[in-house]
Structure 1
């Protein structure tokens, strides 16, 4: 009898442990930090003056630069399929979402589109956008293959590290920089790419950062949190749009080195984190970081805040709203 009771007790304990473990997983994959805990950029009010640069963040690393004559888009990931679709379905651009979000961002034309690398969260909508708006498309060889699979007949311009291109008053210089550790599409190749395609079929390709110069304003965009080494040691920037996705998983020393060789190396006085939001959430919903089980955005922001100190402004961007840098130490961009 005693042994039977002991076995039953052990069974109940084991069952309770399994339940606690499952509850812990549910919590880890649902709870997430709040972006409201951190300072954000204000939205600029009133219409821009002639030639004034307007910068908008559209989630992940999608950024729109508009001077009233030309619009330069970085990436262009607007469809943002949900987590079930990302895990189980073949993807194609969601044209209704694209039109809706471009309208919300007041984007009526696109002169050129630069793709940082060709994972789905950067390249899913890029070829479709370039085709629809007649935009010049810039990217790696993998972007050219994806564009061809989507029926884009215009040639995709290959990015050459350190070689600038000009779009109206904009000068855009790409720099070959590493992707953050870990490849969500390891082994994927664009050689046999077809649309629709599963998320894991979008190859990384060559990863790039971009320096955008407009007048006296110099903005460095680092979409992916891979350590760039000394690539930016001779580059000057007023603002760094700093990719922080999964940066917490690299450890404090790696975070400090990343900051040193991007922000400190360029002398930037304003840092705007990008690629921090959960890209499986629609842009119809408020931007939120990934759950704790995927990325510890709170830990990243704590360390970046300490690195910024009192000398550098660290501000989260708001989706769709024109960034207001007035009163911030943005140098030639103020």
Structure 2
């Protein structure tokens, strides 16, 4: 992407819980914010960023958190999914008995009907099981177009998804889906544990000979973030699936709402301050990927006790005091400004 384009865009088992993906806890776990699943911690006010696009039409979209980093975004009668991991299954990750040979569970069609609807677009950040496991079923059942990396492409083809249904991206693409729905693909990075490593790195250059059967058959395969403009007047949403990012790729984006993955180690230098500055200190910040994603999606949110959610919230307040912080839950449907809908 040219400099001018960037300037103008507005729009151990050795593993341990979650360490296999994102790292060990930072000290003792802090409690979940008190009764604040969607509390407002700051007055919304106007965007503090000079030159930002016109105020979005907050009635134009609705959002629902699918747990982990997943979201369902509805714009009128159009549905976009991001990292829809619905059929959760146990790997031992939250019981200090993580098993890389855990078999990938079959998707629950009822959960897809309830939470996914009939999407026309599925955005995939990377190919770990808690991001991609349900994508093959949803894509085949609904015909939705999938946007993801080359590794995501090869895995989905191995699962039986039509290759013509998948758009391979690397970062830098700005995809126009009509009627103001645009998706800017952002080259990104996967989070790292305290040893600066993560579970199943690697990429694929061809489909595996057989369909993946276990979670260790799903390599990360590079990581993407997405800047989605949901309709002609927004809102603009920043979606990330892991708690690291490529600062120079994010620089210049100005989302109205930023879905920020909670880190579980300090291996990424000044993660929150650098991210918020690069994004222009968004009006709304939504912490994601802090829940126990091996509990049923139909149940209440159970926080991962190793994740420092309260610590992230405190950092956001300090680094971007004009941002309103919304801690989401599974049951609430939010408007485009992340206020609960009646």
- TM-score category, normalised to shorter length: 0.7 to 0.9
- Structure of higher CA gyration radius: 1
Which has more helix, going by share of residues? 1
For 2:123 and 2:178, the matched residues in 1 are separated by: 15
For 1:210 and 1:327, the matched residues in 2 are separated by: 18
For 2:334 and 2:286, the matched residues in 1 are separated by: 10
For 1:183 and 1:267, the matched residues in 2 are separated by: 28
Shift of 1:117: 0.7
Match of 2:201 in 1: 186
**Residue among 273, 279, 291 paired with 2:293:** 279
SS in 1 for 2:255: coil
Match of 1:78 in 2: 86
For 1:185 and 1:313, the matched residues in 2 are separated by: 35
Higher relative contact order (CA 8 A, sep 6+): 2
Match of 1:221 in 2: 239
SS in 1 for 2:238: strand
CA shift digits 1:268-293 (9 cap, x unpaired): 1110111111222221322222123x
SS in 1 for 2:248: coil
Compared CA separation, residues 62 and 323, structure 1 to 2 (3 A) = same
SS in 2 for 1:147: helix
Match of 2:334 in 1: 323
Match of 2:255 in 1: 237
For 1:84 and 1:260, the matched residues in 2 are separated by: 33
Shift of 1:93: 4.5
Listed as ranges, the gaps of 5+ residues in structure 2 are 1-24, 41-56
Shift of 1:305: 3.3
For 2:175 and 2:120, the matched residues in 1 are separated by: 12
Compared CA separation, residues 129 and 233, structure 1 to 2 (3 A) = same
The answer as to 2:62 corresponding to 1:54 is yes
Shift of 1:118: 0.6
Shift of 1:84: 3.6
Compared CA separation, residues 161 and 188, structure 1 to 2 (3 A) = closer
Match of 1:137 in 2: 146
For 2:104 and 2:295, the matched residues in 1 are separated by: 16
Match of 1:160 in 2: 170
For 1:92 and 1:75, the matched residues in 2 are separated by: 16
Listed as ranges, the gaps of 5+ residues in structure 1 are 1-27, 44-48, 329-334
CA shift digits 1:166-185 (9 cap, x unpaired): 33431011110111123211
Contact in 2 for aligned 1:82/1:282 (Cα 8 Å): no
> What is the alpha-carbon root mean square deviation over aligned residues?
3.0
Compared CA separation, residues 313 and 50, structure 1 to 2 (3 A) = closer
Match of 1:265 in 2: 279
Match of 2:311 in 1: 299
For 2:222 and 2:100, the matched residues in 1 are separated by: 26
Greater shift after overlay, 118-127 or 189-198? Answer: 189-198
Greater shift after overlay, 225-234 or 198-207? Answer: 225-234
CA shift digits 1:32-91 (9 cap, x unpaired): 644342633279xxxxx9972111110011111111321111111111111349626543
Contact in 1 for aligned 2:61/2:336 (Cα 8 Å): no
SS in 2 for 1:231: helix
For 2:317 and 2:283, the matched residues in 1 are separated by: 13
The answer as to 2:191 corresponding to 1:177 is no
CA shift digits 1:181-201 (9 cap, x unpaired): 232113575753643522122
